[in-house]
Amino acid sequence: MLGRGHRTASGFSLLAKQMWGALRHRPARRCSQHPCAQRGRGRALHPLWTGPVPVPGGTRQSPINIWARDSVYDPRLKPLQVAYDAASCMYAWNTGYLFQVEFDSAAEGSGISGGPLENHYRLKQFHFHWGAENAWGSEHTVEDHAYPAELHLVHWNSVKYQSYQDAVTGENGLAVIGVFLKLGAPHQALQQVVDVLPEIRHKLSALRSLLCSAAGEEETVMADNYRPLQPLLGRTVRASFPATREGPRG
């Protein structure tokens, strides 16, 4: 589904300022990040997602390349109701694939409802995807245009499921908000997240200094931590606004 406009690093204050809380460090875990990195946009399905997982090679895979002219305008798509409580923020950590901030999944204060959602969804975590260079990094693209980074806010259906773990593998269990990020002036709310990273200032290049290797291993920089584009396979992309001839770079 498409929402109006493209957020910038300095343009999602309302979203960000309500989320940042007191963040704590958590150590990185060992990983092999490079097989997960997007080296070629043309691959239909990445091997990492076609093995013995809950939905191997499923038909509703993400991310996708969004074409506004091919989307279907749905006037029934109303604005999302967003409410985030910084008190439910727990800690930030390096997962080995990306930088992630965790929230208390039992807390009622942070979540979304309305729009296309039938239930209330609680915020579980948010994380970032970014590229080794500014020309790419976002998971989704808009008319073949990639952004330097993308923020994902992951929510779970707390009405239909008893826990986040159950929601992950269930029907309509998760709702993820994706926000495209562009380079701009330093952003105060985002800076609170960046400040928990050692020796990092306020630039995207700071995230590119994170490592996905464990102690004692050869240092491997974490970058290009996004999945290859996936085919639509007959799905319809709905939009809350009529498509225009405007390009995606706005």
pLDDT at 10: 37
Handedness of CA 180, 183, 189, 195 (dihedral sign): positive
Q: What is the pLDDT of residues 146-185, one digit of tens each?
A: 999 999 999 999 999 999 999 999 999 999 999 998 887 7
**79: CB partners within 8 A, 6+ apart:** 114, 115, 240
- pTM value? 0.72
Q: Is 54 exposed, middle or buried (0-12, 13-18, 19+ CB in 10 A)?
A: exposed
Complete domains list, the chain, with CATH? 13-38+60-239 (3.10.200.10)
Q: What is the pLDDT of residues 202-223, one digit of tens each?
A: 344 556 555 555 556 666 677 7
Q: Is the pLDDT of residue 250 over 90?
A: no
